[in-house]
């Protein structure tokens, strides 16, 4: 009897220990679930799919040439006073007053001079004054012959110079040669650039881009596209804020945007940044550009509740 009572006590104690372990694990699990279960989905930057301008480029170099130019050789001893040139003169203005007769501007433009030099015919020092009409700048560029069928008068161009790193000058193709140079296998093409601000000066080296096949297409930021081999994907966000991995066909890349040929529609919401924090079918907290709400804001809100 005593032995059976002892065995029964051992069995009861054993089951009590098992029950205590199960209860303890359940309570600990409930505690952690309560503590961490309210963590909000990650805040992810999103954007809408919109139309943007896309094009192909032909890139080359050219030298800036003024619309009109003239030069005047003046003997130093013919000056009435010390030489003081205005930066800009209008047509009909006096450029320089001379004993032998004033020099009148034949057209409006920027005045300059090349300095003092010995005249090749006389020993007296002379001054060479230049006048350039630079409101329009021209440049003759060479285009490879394989682009001939794509060129047309009036095609837009953009030009940059090293002295204005953040400025782009707009222009267009003004003239296309009717012959291809047999030696260089290139086509001489003239461009003209609006230079109303007179920022470009003759002789500048131009970095020229000719825009071809300009079109409006759907666009997404290049930070939103995932490349896996030859396939491209984006995360499309549903109305329930679920990120769905979607395959897309991409085209050209222009100014930080990628052209979308198929797979998306205008107005679709996609993940713009933070792809490493997104997983297929995962819920996110979408944040549009300019919104101040972040993941930490959501955490504070949840903690208050």
Q: Which of 129, 127, 95 is nearest to 112 (CA)?
A: 129
pLDDT in tens, 203-258: 999 999 999 888 899 999 999 999 999 999 999 999 899 999 999 999 988 888 99
For residue 225, being part of any structural domain is answered with yes
Report yes or no on 189 lying in a domain: yes
At 267, the pLDDT band (50, 70, 90 cuts) reads very high
Same domain, 60 and 149: yes
Give 218's contacts (C-beta < 8 A, 6+ positions apart). Answer: 49, 50, 51, 52, 259, 260, 261, 264, 265, 266
- Structural domain containing residue 288: 43-55+216-299
Q: How far is it, in rounded angstroms, from Cα 242 to Cα 215?
A: 32
- Let me know whether 60 and 156 are in one domain: yes
Domain count, the chain: 3
Establish if 152 belongs to a structural domain: yes
For residues 278-300, one letter each, b for 16 or more C-beta atoms within 10 angstroms of the residue's C-beta and e for the rest, the string is beeebebbbbeeeeeeebeebee
Give residue 123's pLDDT. Answer: 45
CATH number at 189 reads 2.40.30.170
pTM as predicted: 0.64
Among 215, 237, 253, residue at a domain's last position: 215
* Among 13-22, 223-232, 292-301, the least confident range: 292-301
Q: Which helix (H) or strand (E) holds 6?
A: helix 2-36
CA 300 – CA 208 distance, rounded (Å): 53
Domain assignment present for residue 281? The answer is: yes
Last residue of a domain, one of 169, 192, 215: 215
55, 101, 106, 217, 260 from 265: Cα distances, Å = 20, 72, 59, 11, 9
Across the range 90-118, mean pLDDT stands at 84
Residues 60 and 173 occupy one common structural domain: yes
pLDDT tens digits for range 109-120: 999 877 555 444
Does 153 reside within a domain? yes
């Amino acid at each position: 009897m005593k032995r059976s009572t002892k065995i029964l006590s051992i069995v009861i104690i054993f089951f009590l220990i098992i029950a205590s372990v199960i209860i303890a694990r359940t309570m600990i699990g409930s505690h952690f679930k309560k503590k961490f279960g309210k963590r909000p989905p990650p805040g992810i930057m999103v954007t809408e799919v919109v139309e943007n301008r896309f094009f192909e480029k032909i890139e080359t170099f050219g030298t800036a040439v003024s619309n009109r130019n003239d030069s005047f050789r003046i003997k130093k001893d013919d000056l009435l006073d010390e030489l003081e040139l205005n930066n800009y003169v209008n047509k009909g203005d006096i450029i320089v007053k001379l004993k032998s007769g004033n020099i009148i501007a034949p057209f409006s433009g920027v005045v300059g001079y090349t300095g003092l030099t010995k005249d090749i015919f006389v020993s007296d020092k002379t001054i060479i004054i230049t006048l350039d009409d630079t409101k329009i700048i021209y440049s003759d560029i060479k285009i490879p012959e394989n682009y001939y069928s794509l060129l047309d008068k009036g095609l837009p161009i953009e030009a940059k110079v090293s002295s204005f790193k953040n400025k782009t000058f707009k222009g267009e193709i003004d003239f296309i040669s009717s012959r291809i140079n047999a030696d260089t296998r290139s086509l001489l093409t003239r461009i003209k650039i609006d230079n109303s601000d007179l920022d470009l000066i003759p002789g500048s080296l131009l970095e020229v881009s000719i825009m071809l096949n300009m079109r409006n297409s759907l666009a997404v930021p290049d930070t939103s596209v995932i490349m896996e081999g030859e396939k491209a994907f984006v995360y499309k966000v549903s109305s329930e804020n679920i990120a769905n991995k979607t395959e897309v066909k991409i085209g050209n890349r222009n100014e930080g945007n990628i052209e979308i040929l198929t797979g998306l529609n205008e107005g679709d919401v996609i993940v713009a940044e933070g792809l490493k924090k997104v997983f297929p079918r995962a819920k996110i907290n979408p944040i549009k550009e300019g919104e101040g709400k972040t993941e930490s804001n959501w955490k504070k809100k949840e903690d208050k509740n």
